[in-house]
Amino acid sequence: MVHALETIHSLLKPNGVLIDMRPKGIPAEFWGHRGDVSEPLGQIDETDAFIEYGQAAQAMEQAVGKKLFRLQVRGEYDFIIHADSFEELKAYLTIEWTDAVIDPEIESRARKMNAEKISLHDSIHIGIMACL
């Protein structure tokens, strides 16, 4: 990953900007919604235990240590995926989050609460990096 950042560095002008945006590696949370009621249903898991997000963070730290980039601004935000049903969200995740693992109990909880909508909340890191 550091090699990719070195390549990006060679393509950017001095003081150019790299936006470092990635999941923080904290398991995303499913929520069920019915009327004014919202309940947590459980967390998603990954077949690789979210390892790539830590690797990406380490690569960025190494690139900063090599004085390729300097952090200008850091923050985080919630990325929320909304769906009309659990089946719809599962179909989306099958395509877009291929290493996602969903405990069958989460879907069972959604059915028990008779959820009208489902959402998945993921915590995202964002950093604005200046090219040195």
Nearest to 127 by CA among 5, 6, 2, 19: 19
Q: What is the mean pLDDT of the chain?
A: 96
The whole-number pLDDT of residue 1 equals 86
What is the model's pTM? 0.88
104-121 pLDDT, tens digit per residue, is 999 999 999 999 999 999
The whole-number pLDDT of residue 108 equals 96
pLDDT lower than 50: segments of the chain: none
Could you please report the per-residue DSSP string of 63-126? HHHTTSEEEEEEEEEEEEEEESSHHHHHHHHHHH-TTEE--HHHHHHHHHTT-SEEEEEEEEEE
Q: Work out how many domains the chain is built from and give that number.
A: 1
Instruction: Give me the domain span that covers residue 40.
Output: 2-131
